[in-house]
Structure 1
Amino acid sequence: MKTNKVVLAAIGGLAAGAALGILFAPQSGKKTRKKIAEKSKALKEHAKEDFDKLIEKIDHKYKTISDDAHRLLQESKSKAENGMTNKI
């Protein structure tokens, strides 16, 4: 959950900084539009990179939890089987 907030805050900060920088720059409309396009492209690339990193972390957590659950299930089955054979 913390990672999501950090990623969203970073994206928001980048967008706000880019927008303010462009709005206060005294340049022609053509140059401003070009800068907006460049900043938008850079922001998109950064957002994609951050999103990919977030997906990797989620995938890693999922695999870890899945492996732990599988291990616990196997241990429980083994203990149950041992308990059954000890009663007989």
Structure 2
Amino acid sequence: MSTGKVVLGTVAGLAIGGILGILFAPEKGSVTRKQIMDKGGDYADDLKSKYNEFADSISEKLQSAKDFAQELVENGKAEFDEAKNEVNHSATKY
């Protein structure tokens, strides 16, 4: 799921929940507003959690790509050195 969809869904859920809470609230306005604020805080915490998970996932993928690139460089250097030694060895034969 893309981050944009998560954010859009969260914002839409907050808006719809807030509107429905106000329209159908059996309590006084102050109680309803507190409940909406509490729910908004819960949604914000959930959004922060999803963002942190996304950031951790990206960080892990970047580290994996970095490790892979480092391995490629090391393998390439080893193969280059081996080929260079073979050329030098062949050149000294003649």
Q: Give the alignment's TM-score, normalised by structure 1.
A: 0.84
Which structure: larger Rg?
2
Deviation at 1:71, TM superposition (A): 0.5
Task: Indicate if the aligned counterparts of 1:11 and 1:43 stay in contact, CA closer than 8 A.
Answer: yes
Deviations 1:23-77 (A, max 9, x none): 3224421122111211111111101110111011111101110110010010111
Query: What is the RMSD computed on CA atoms of the aligned residues?
Result: 1.6
| More RCO (CA 8 Å, sep 6+) | 1
Structure 2: 5+ residue runs without aligned partners?
89-94
Is 1:34 aligned to residue 30 of structure 2? no
Q: Which amino acid aligns with 2:67?
A: D
Q: Give the alignment's TM-score, normalised by structure 2.
A: 0.79
3-state SS, counterpart of residue 24 of structure 2: coil
Structure 1: 5+ residue runs without aligned partners?
none
User: In structure 2, what is the equivalent of residue 84 of structure 1?
Assistant: 84
Question: Where do residues 1-88 of structure 1 align in structure 2 (5 Å cutoff)?
Answer: 2-26=1-25, 27-88=27-88
